[in-house]
């Protein structure tokens, strides 16, 4: 069991690889887009409301929109959302749910002179080069608008996390993901990503000082609900079915031993900065 959303797990890969350089994992989430959309948690309404309130208008660019989870929440809040997504399988799913999507990596995406009131990225900014990404965001954001990258940080109960780490290590001994060698708390690990995002924004310039916003919440998972979500996580998206089944069996047994369900504590963390007004530049 990863102790944090595994899409950040390339941080555990041998140095000097950065998450955004691990392209095989970065663009693997469409291997089961339907399951991804069905199982991945939504973002706190308070986060969406705060970003909308802090943006000067309703046009939103969703970087790495995936199946459109965040995009649809911003649409429901009254925004017009354009997604940019390199995985055509994710983009197709998002389009079927009513989200307009252009297929590209954000760093290479052509804005064609368009401008936005907010650039958002849910669980995706670590897959983007933090400097090139901030530069592209600065290019398309109107004065007074906002960049907001956010992630869910979660930590399953220790016994579930330990079962995942042990079985994953046994089933995939050659994996660059080493959960057993991960001593830090989830929020500490995430802080590394948040700091890299903030550093990229500062390096590019043209933004106010990046802030962090934090939203704490909980949800409970039955064994089946958690085992439904787990295959959508970075270390598992490319596992052959027999190895995946072994991992799920091991985690399932740990959840059974706890009575068949558990409560997950989530923290949704955002790093966000306002684009300077022209007069501030
Ligand atoms: C973990 S998913 C998050 C999807 C969605 N934002 C959500 O909240 O569910 C990460 C997404 O980022 C996309 N991605 C990876 N590299 C990217 C890049 N360089 N530019 C834009 N999107 C990227 C992946 O294809 C994937 O759909």
What's the chain look like in SS3?
Answer: CCCCCHHHHHHHCCCCCCHHHCHHHHCCHHHHHHHHHHHCCCCCHHHHHHHHHCCCCCEEEEECCCCCHHHHHHHHCCCEEEEECCCHHHHHHHHHCCCEEECCCHHHCCCCCCCEEEEEEECCHHHCCHHHHHHHHHHHEEEEEEEEEEEEEEECCHHHHHHHHHHHHHHCCCCCCCHHHCCCCHHHHHHHHHHHHHHHHHHHCCECCCEEEEEEEEEEEEHHHHHHHHHHCCCCCCCCHHHHHHHHHHHHHHHHHCCCEEEEEEEEEEEEEEECCHHHC
Confidence category of residue 181, pLDDT binned at 50, 70, 90: low
Weakest mean pLDDT among 28-32, 54-58, 259-263: 28-32
The rounded Å distance from CA 88 to ligand 1 centre is: 11
| Site residues for ligand 1, CB cut-off 6 Å | 7, 26-27, 29, 40, 63-66, 69-70, 84-87, 90, 105-107, 122-124, 127-128
The rounded Å distance from CA 253 to ligand 1 centre is: 31
The rounded Å distance from CA 259 to ligand 1 centre is: 34
For the cut 90, the answer to whether the pLDDT of residue 180 exceeds it is no
Say what percent of the chain tops pLDDT 90.
Answer: 70
pLDDT, tens digit (0-9, with 9 covering 90-100), for 154-176: 888 888 888 888 888 888 888 77
For the cut 60, the answer to whether the pLDDT of residue 235 exceeds it is yes
Quote the pLDDT of residue 17: 72
Average pLDDT of the residues in 76-93: 98
Q: Identify which has the larger pLDDT, 253 or 3.
A: 253
The rounded Å distance from CA 128 to ligand 1 centre is: 8
Quote the pLDDT of residue 279: 46
Quote the pLDDT of residue 212: 97
The rounded Å distance from CA 64 to ligand 1 centre is: 3
Confidence category of residue 24, pLDDT binned at 50, 70, 90: confident
- Atom in ligand 1 nearest the alpha carbon of residue 27: 25
pLDDT, tens digit (0-9, with 9 covering 90-100), for 208-228: 999 999 999 999 999 999 999
Weakest mean pLDDT among 6-15, 81-90, 93-102, 236-245: 6-15
Q: Identify which has the larger pLDDT, 67 or 27.
A: 67
Residue nearest to atom 14 of ligand 1 (CA): 64
Confidence category of residue 22, pLDDT binned at 50, 70, 90: confident
For the cut 60, the answer to whether the pLDDT of residue 8 exceeds it is no
Residue to probe by mutation, ligand 1, list 28, 86, 88, 95, most atoms within 8 Å of CB: 86
Average pLDDT along the chain: 89
**pTM of the predicted structure, to 2 decimals:** 0.90
């Amino acid at each position: 069991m990863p102790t944090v959303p595994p899409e950040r797990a390339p941080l555990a890969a041998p140095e000097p690889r950065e998450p955004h350089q691990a392209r095989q994992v970065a663009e693997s989430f469409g291997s089961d887009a339907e399951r991804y959309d069905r199982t991945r948690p939504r973002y706190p309404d308070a986060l969406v409301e705060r970003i909308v309130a802090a943006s000067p208008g309703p046009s939103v660019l969703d970087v790495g929109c995936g199946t459109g989870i965040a995009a649809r929440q911003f649409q429901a809040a009254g925004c017009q959302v354009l997604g940019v997504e390199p995985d055509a399988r994710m983009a197709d799913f998002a389009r079927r749910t009513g989200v307009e999507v252009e297929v590209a990596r954000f760093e290479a995406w052509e804005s064609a002179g368009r401008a936005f009131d907010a650039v958002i990225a849910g669980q995706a900014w670590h897959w983007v080069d933090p400097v090139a990404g901030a530069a592209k965001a600065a290019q398309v954001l109107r004065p007074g608008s906002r960049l907001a990258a956010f992630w869910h940080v979660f930590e399953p109960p220790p016994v579930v996390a330990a079962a995942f780490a042990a079985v994953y290590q046994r089933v995939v001994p050659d994996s660059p993901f080493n959960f057993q060698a991960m001593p830090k708390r989830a929020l500490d690990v995430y802080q590394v990503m948040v700091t890299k995002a903030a550093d990229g924004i500062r390096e590019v310039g043209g933004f106010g000082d990046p802030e962090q916003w934090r939203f704490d919440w909980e949800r409970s998972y039955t064994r089946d609900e958690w085992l439904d979500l787990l295959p959508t996580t970075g270390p598992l998206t490319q596992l052959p079915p027999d190895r995946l089944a072994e991992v799920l069996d091991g985690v399932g047994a740990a959840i059974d031993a706890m009575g068949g369900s558990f409560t997950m504590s989530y923290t949704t963390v955002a790093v966000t900065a306002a684009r300077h007004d022209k007069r501030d530049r």
